[in-house]
Structures are given as structure tokens and as C-alpha cells.
């Protein structure tokens, strides 16, 4: 079964608007971490934000925030005030066994975001 | 800043050739990973290593092997390249235990074409 599901293959947003990229996950491990990465057309994967399963508050990093709904097993990325440079592929990923230090990540299939002027 | 360097951005090889993809990281990370990325499939883990000379199979190890003789270097080997191994290959590294939110740091990727 898919452990990470990103149902939006593509999203469009106008500059300066906010956009939400969806991510749902499946795990029976109570200790896990969720990551979002950005991949511009140049190819490098850029780490954006992290949410731990035991974190009480939603993670925020500048214009990025993570809408973490544990009961729904969702970890949506919210980008506020979109910029043209936000156009990229975005991947959600999960790491189980956070307390063990085991480092294996499972990735979703990605969402391509296009920001228009 | 962490630097993960992959030896080639683009590589073209022929079917049946032995292909080496090299990855070097400069942050003394214990863990290193090789992924392949295909449209609609996201990133899939091929092999990873948590220490020198240690290796573990990922989700799609068939047709690949790896080598980690030094801590900073992790090589992916296609023993006999086939056209279905045409893909984007990404190397990553990370620190080991102790830091929950420690991300994996990625190289720029190698776009490999097998003709």
C-alpha cells in the first residue's frame, strides 16, 4: 500500500496567493517524521520543513507551514504569498521509527506547482 | 553548508556496459543513500549505507550494487546497464542518530540515459 499519497499531480497559483499541497500518509508506527522537499527544474532536492509525530504545534519555516492533522494522517504544505521562484516539483516524505534514528525515507509521487504572474 | 557532489550531471551509456555513479559528501555523515526518480513514481530507494563497508538493500535493488570504501564516498554500480535503467539518479546523505528533524541532503542528480 502507498505509504505517502500526493493526489495532486499539478497545481496552479497566481503570484502572491497562498497554495496548499496535499499529502496523506499511512503508518502504524507512533513515532515518525514528515518532510517536504522542493525540486526546481535544475534537479536538486531542497529540504523545506519537518514535522514530528509528537510535535504539538504545526511546523513553520518562513513562508512555509505544515498543516498537520494527525487523526486524518495528513501533512499538507501551505505556501503563503507565492513567488515565481516557487514553481517546482514538491515532494512529501515520511520517516518511520523517529526514535530509533533509522533514516529511511519514503517519498510520494510529487506535485508540480506552477506560479503565474 | 552540506555539500553532496555527484560526479556527472548527464551520462550516456550503452546497453550492457558497467556504469559507475559516484557520490561524495563533505560533512562526515554516516548515512548515504541512492535513489532513482521517474515521472509519476517519485523517488525510490535503491540502496543505502549507514557506515563504511555496510550496505542495505532499498526497495528496488535489482540490477544495482553499491560500494562504500570510505565514509565520504558512496558509489552506485550498474553491473550490466539496460534501457529500463534510464532515469534520474539522486544521492543523499544524513547524520545518524540523535537529531529528530535531521533531513537528508541531496546532490544535484545524474540524468543517465542507456542506449
Q: Output the pLDDT for position A69.
A: 96
Rounded Cα–Cα distance for residues B7 and A49 (Å): 28
Q: What is the pLDDT of residues B26-76, one digit of tens each?
A: 989 999 999 999 998 999 999 999 889 889 999 999 999 999 999 999 999
Neighbours of B44 (CB within 10 A): 15
Taking an 8 Å cut-off on Cβ atoms, the answer to whether B48 and A104 are in contact is yes
Instruction: Give the chain A residue whose CA is nearest to the CA of B39.
Output: A109
Q: How many CB atoms lie within 10 A of CB B60?
A: 14
Range scoring the smallest mean pLDDT among A43-57, A97-111, B24-38, B72-86: A97-111
Q: Which chain B residues are within 8 Å of A108, Cβ to Cβ?
A: 42
* B97 inside 8 A of chain A by CB: yes
Give the three cell numbers for residue B20: 559507475
Query: What tens digit of pLDDT does each residue of A67-101 get?
Result: 999 999 999 999 999 999 999 999 999 988 766 65
Which of A47, A91, A104 has its CB closest to that of B42?
A91
CB A112 within 8 A of CB A91: no
How far is Cα A22 from Cα A25, in angstroms, rounded to an integer?
10
Q: Note whether A91 and A9 are within 8 A (CB).
A: no
Residue B98: is its pLDDT beyond 70? no
Going along A57-104, which residue ranges are E strands? 60-61, 64-69, 74-79, 88-96
The residues that bridge with A92 in the sheet, in sequence order, are: A36
Say yes or no: B92 contacts chain A, CB-CB below 8 A: yes
Rg (CA), chain A: 14
Instruction: Give chain B positions within 8 Å (CB) of A103.
Output: 31, 33, 48, 50, 94, 96, 104
Amino acid at each position: 500500500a502507498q505509504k505517502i499519497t500526493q493526489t495532486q499531480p499539478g497545481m496552479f497559483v497566481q503570484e502572491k496567493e497562498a497554495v496548499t499541497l496535499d499529502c496523506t500518509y499511512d503508518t502504524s508506527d507512533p513515532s515518525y517524521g514528515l518532510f517536504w522537499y522542493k525540486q526546481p527544474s535544475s534537479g536538486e532536492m531542497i529540504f523545506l520543513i519537518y514535522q514530528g509525530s509528537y510535535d504539538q504545534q504545526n511546523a513553520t519555516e518562513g513562508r512555509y507551514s505544515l498543516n498537520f492533522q494527525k487523526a486524518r494522517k495528513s501533512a499538507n504544505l501551505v505556501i503563503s504569498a507565492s513567488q515565481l521562484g516557487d514553481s517546482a516539483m514538491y515532494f512529501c516524505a515520511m520517516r518511520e521509527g523517529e526514535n530509533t534514528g533509522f533514516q529511511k525515507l519514503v517519498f510520494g509521487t510529487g506535485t508540480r506547482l506552477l506560479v503565474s504572474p | 553548508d552540506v555539500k553532496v557532489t555527484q560526479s556527472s550531471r548527464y551520462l550516456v551509456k550503452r546497453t550492457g556496459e558497467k556504469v559507475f555513479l559516484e557520490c561524495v559528501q563533505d560533512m562526515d555523515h554516516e548515512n548515504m543513500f541512492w535513489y532513482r526518480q521517474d515521472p509519476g513514481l517519485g523517488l525510490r530507494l535503491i540502496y543505502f549505507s549507514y557506515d563504511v563497508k555496510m550496505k542495505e538493500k532499498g526497495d528496488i535493488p535489482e540490477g544495482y550494487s553499491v560500494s562504500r570504501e570510505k565514509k565520504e564516498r558512496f558509489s552506485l554500480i550498474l553491473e550490466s546497464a539496460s534501457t529500463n535503467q534510464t532515469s534520474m539518479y539522486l544521492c543523499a546523505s544524513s547524520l545518524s542518530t540523535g537529531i529528530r528533524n535531521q533531513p537528508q541532503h541531496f546532490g544535484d542528480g545524474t540524468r543517465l540515459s542507456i542506449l
